[in-house]
Structure 1
Amino acid sequence: MNIKIKRRTIVVILAAVLAAGVFAGCGKSKEPIKIASKPMTEQYILTEILGQLIEHDLGVKVEITKGIGGGTTNIQPALLKGDFDLYPEYTGTAWLTVLKHEKEDDPDVLYENLQKEYQEMGLHWSGLYGFQNSYVLAVRKEAAEEYGLKTFSDLAAASGNLIFGGNPDYMEREDGYPMICEAYGMEFKGTVDVDIALKYQAMANQEIDVTNAFTTDAQLAAADVLLLQDDKSLFATYYAGTVVRNDTLEKYPGLADTLEKLTGQISDDEMREMNYQVEVEGKDEKDIARDFLTQKGLLN
């Protein structure tokens, strides 16, 4: 009888030890994945998409820190230190700002080399979402149709008949208005300084014909404009993707597969529309992210 009691006691103790070990392991695996974002609407939406998809697939909580001042300048060092696990980044920014290389015109060559150099830092690029947030020129659709404008070179040929309007800093920056004029030989009929928030209204009022823009500007989703092709590849490519720590990928099995689900899922038009819904229509980025993931079949 005593032997049985002792055996039973040992079994109970072993079970308790094993359970404690299991729960300790679970506690460790349940540490939240920390996601960072730059201070811009687009990044708020992207981090919500990443966070909701991770929580859905892995059952792991995420902590999102939105709007970090300085953007890449402060997020990259924090990522290297382990303060964050991942964040959305742009290939052009990584290549020019982080690695401080000269512009690379071939996006495939850039991405291949970017991946190699980031691996040396213990970081990984997990695919590309599909859209890029790059510099572009927008033209009133009526003007584009009248002069047959599709490319920057087309615009240069017709620039003497058109008025360019841009925000003051862009008009003065060396890599802004002066650079495109010199590179393409543009000589506009006139130029106008326009507040960045009012330039699309100025185009709608036919006060200006051309303006500088980013490919995923929210207002482009509603503006009656045409985006021109940079046919000389003057501007760097800024495809968006996820930068994640290698040790985070090791710590959370399945995370790599989850992140890759977003590869090629977001077009320029879709990103513009999501930005528009948050910035102009005042919708919550969490709701926009959930709707996007549901429409893509990534949430059950």
Structure 2
Amino acid sequence: MAFSILKAAGAFALMALSATTTLAQTDPLGAAPAARTDKTTIIVGSADFPESQLLATIYAKALAAKGIKTDTKLNIGSREVYMPALLDGSIDLLPEYAGATLSYLDKNATAHSPEDVAKALKAALPAGVSMLTPSQAQDSDGVAVTRATAEKYKLKTIADLAPVASQLVLGGPPEWKTRKEGIIGLKELYGLEFKSFKSLDVGGPLTLSALVNDQVQAANLFSTDPAIADNKLVILEDVKNLFPAQNIVPVIAKAKVSDVVTKTLDAVSAALTTDDLIVMNGRLANHDSFDVVADEWLAKHKLN
């Protein structure tokens, strides 16, 4: 296990070097890490999709309500960019998805249940990085099709795609090309060879539009997306457990962990539900701001 931790830490360090240029080009983090002089502020980062940005906003506001100085660096990018940023000190805290983070750190991970994933993730985190208590709330990856496509090909599970995948275009984020929870896993575990792959956004409006308009016939969407029900889409059952449990979990630099931080974020995790995520994502889709949605959720649970 120690070897895997060292290996993960080494991988983080190598990616941090290559990520520095990306961060500077997109400027989501502002100045280079060396220019950071304020060691007391907790900088909360997020991935490049609304739910992650909302959760980061909730974390920051909950901590601020306890007198902790916070700042946010939202919309950083994919895990391949924001994880090295956490390691090099550009950010201190971010909301993560347990199963996806585990797979990122350990390509050979086989854990699937929430308990097993949490245990394996805790062991896989590199030195200097810690995880707090995972929430029961999950936002799981899924392969979605329209109801028409499901009926045409009699699709109920991902395995049902095997005879027809060569006729279908798969859509998903660019990272799906190289992730186990993407094209690699769909091929290795399910034997799926799609006609082609179309790079879209992270389960967002581009993906939804492409799927609904038949530009792609299968796509990566997430279980907390209200658009699934609104558009009567079908999430195919993952009968071979390609996608591990994706409980929301705060991942934080160990140097920024304190009793107050732990109790505050654990309270957020305890209150958060999958249904909350679906409702809040719906509000974001209707153009409510992150601040408004976060403030109202925190007030409802008496966390601000």
TM range (shorter): 0.5 to 0.7
Partner in structure 2 of residue 128 of structure 1: 134
Unaligned runs of 5+ in 1: 1-29
Q: Return the match for 2:45 from 28, 36, 42.
A: 36
Q: Return the match for 1:79 from 86, 99, 114.
A: 86
Partner in structure 2 of residue 65 of structure 1: 73
CA distance in 1, matches of 2:90, 2:236: 40
CA distance in 1, matches of 2:216, 2:74: 35
CA distance in 1, matches of 2:220, 2:169: 8
Q: Return the match for 2:231 from 223, 227, 243.
A: 223
Asked if the contact 2:140/2:246 (under 8 Å) is kept, the reply is yes
Q: Percent identity?
A: 25
- Describe the superposition over 1:100-146 as per-residue Cα deviations: whole angstroms up to 9, x where unpaired: 4413233323321321343x613321122334444311133466578
Q: Report how far residue 83 of structure 1 moved.
A: 4.1
CA RMSD in angstroms comes to 3.8
Which residue identity is paired with 1:87? L
Partner in structure 2 of residue 46 of structure 1: 55
1:240 corresponds to 2:248: yes
CA distance in 1, matches of 2:196, 2:273: 32
CA distance in 1, matches of 2:197, 2:90: 44
Aligned residues: 260
CA distance in 1, matches of 2:245, 2:167: 26
Asked if the contact 1:221/1:276 (under 8 Å) is kept, the reply is no
Q: Report how far residue 161 of structure 1 moved.
A: 11
Asked if the contact 1:163/1:209 (under 8 Å) is kept, the reply is no
Partner in structure 2 of residue 180 of structure 1: 186
Distance 1:53 1:229, change over 3 A: same
Q: Identify which range, 44-53 or 77-86, moves more after superposition.
A: 77-86
Partner in structure 2 of residue 166 of structure 1: 170
Q: Report how far residue 163 of structure 1 moved.
A: 6.6
Asked if the contact 1:221/1:272 (under 8 Å) is kept, the reply is no
Q: Return the match for 2:123 from 107, 112, 116.
A: 116
> Normalising by the residue count of structure 2, what TM-score does the alignment of the two structures yield?
0.67
Q: Report how far residue 49 of structure 1 moved.
A: 0.6
Partner in structure 2 of residue 287 of structure 1: 292
Partner in structure 1 of residue 112 of structure 2: 106
Asked if the contact 2:131/2:249 (under 8 Å) is kept, the reply is yes
> Normalising by the residue count of structure 1, what TM-score does the alignment of the two structures yield?
0.68
Q: Which has the larger radius of gyration?
A: 1
